[in-house]
Amino acid sequence: MLEEKSPQLTPISAYGEFGLIKHLTENFSFENPSTEISIGDDAAVINPENRKVVVTTDILAEGVHFNLGYVPLKHLGYKAVVVNLSDIAAMNAVPTQILVSLAVSNRFPVEALEEIYAGISLACKHYKVDLVGGDTTSSNSGLVMSITAIGLEDSQNLVGRNGAKPNDLLVVTGDLGGAYLGLQILEREHAVFLANPDMQPEMEGYDYILEKQLKPEARTDIKNILKELHIKPTSMIDVSDGLSSETLHLSDQSKVGFRIYEEKIPLDSLTIATAEELNLNPVMCALNGGEDYELLFTISPNDFEKIKNHPDFTVIGHAVEMEQGNFLVARGSNELIALNAQGWDAFLRSKKS
């Protein structure tokens, strides 16, 4: 890791608190006219210009949300931004600013923070968001990072979780389950490394799913694609905890039930192959794996023609009356299996055997 590469490490104490913040943030530039005052004052000032302000925050704790044994710090910084921008995208808003708060133990040298900020900077440039503030403090145990993201949007464009109606179509972007399988590969190779540090990790051929896990992207592109297709989703959520749990959230907030067709769930060929290698059911990985950061939304059935052949979207099911509940329609048998975050694991494993 970092310690091996660079013997000349700088303790955080070598910089004063202000010096450290300045050092870490001096190369950030500003893209958004809505950013009026940013780092260096007591608070940032944002000018929403008659748009609604959309705000979200996420906390990442070492040992709970990430393991620095196999997550590079630069990727961690990038992903910490992405998971917040994904929430802004799920409201159909445009992300514009972020704030970054860090609690770090003195086991981290300045060079480690530079890596995190390199990842944050990359994400800011890629998504055209401005870093406008944060907070920095010490921690007695490891690294905790909290990012707040701000987005702006005209109020008529915002999409909540609560607008789905019976017969609406359930649509997902991209493919699912990859991030979970990427994590399984990282954990497998990390365990091998811990048992025998001379062993080379076998990561070759897993690029797509490793990238889905380590360097996910927020689907901020979907807003414009939907706009061009003249579609406004009736409800929307991002897939951070798995398709099953996100569908239940839409159900709960919209007061509808859902049918998801197992055969329609989009899976990448590497996701399927890796699941088979690890003796997992790839559908289970999509339903319960999480961290895919795709968008899950409902549209009016009248919009089906506009979306049906689009490469970014898959129609995976539809909404029904709330009393009809939430079920997966099994491939082949058409058996209805309750979409229940708890019951899945057992069912899908027993189905495989």
Residues that contact ligand ADP, how many (by CB under 6 A) = 13
Q: What string marks each residue from 72 to 101 as x (binds ligand ADP by CB under 6 A) or -?
A: ----------------------------x-
Tell me the DSSP string of 222-280. Answer: HHHHHHHTT---SEEEE-SS-HHHHHHHHHHHHTEEEEEEGGGS---HHHHHHHHHTT-
Beta strands in the chain (DSSP E): 35-37, 45-46, 52-61, 94-104, 130-138, 144-153, 169-173, 235-238, 256-261, 295-299, 313-321, 326-329, 336-338
Binding window for ligand ADP (CB under 6 A); candidates: 75-83, 132-140, 239-247, 256-264: 132-140
291 annotated among ligand-binding-site residues? yes
Strand order in the sheet with 130-138: 52-61, 144-153, 94-104, 130-138
Give 99 or 186: the residue with its C-beta nearer to ligand ADP. Answer: 99
Choose which of 102, 123, 183, 222 interacts with ligand ADP (CB under 6 A): 102
41 annotated among ligand-binding-site residues? no
Position 25 contacts ligand ADP (CB under 6 A)? yes
Choose which of 119, 133, 163, 216 interacts with ligand ADP (CB under 6 A): 133
Choose which of 77, 119, 134, 257 interacts with ligand ADP (CB under 6 A): 134
**Residue 39: contacted member of ligand ADP, Mg ion, none (CB under 5 to 8 Å, by partner type):** ligand ADP
The structure tokens listed for 164 are 């789905």
Position 288 contacts ligand ADP (CB under 6 A)? no
**Contacting residues toward Mg ion, per CB under 5 A:** 135
CA angle 274, 278, 280 (to 5 degrees): 90
331 annotated among ligand-binding-site residues? no
168 annotated among ligand-binding-site residues? no
343 annotated among ligand-binding-site residues? no
- Quickly count: other Cβ atoms within 10 Å of residue 88's Cβ: 27
Q: Which residues 6+ apart lie within 8 Å of 199 measured at CB?
A: 192, 193
Give 65 or 190: the residue with its C-beta nearer to ligand ADP. Answer: 65
Give 21 or 183: the residue with its C-beta nearer to ligand ADP. Answer: 21
Residues 33-52 that bind ligand ADP (CB under 6 A): 39-42
> How far is CA 55 from its chain centroid?
16
Provide the greatest CA pair distance for the chain: 66
274 annotated among ligand-binding-site residues? no
Compute the radius of gyration of the chain from its Cα atoms.
22
Give residues in contact with ligand ADP (CB under 6 A): 21, 25, 39-42, 100, 102, 131, 133-136
Binding residue positions: 42, 56-58, 65, 87, 117, 134-135, 161, 238, 240-241, 291, 344
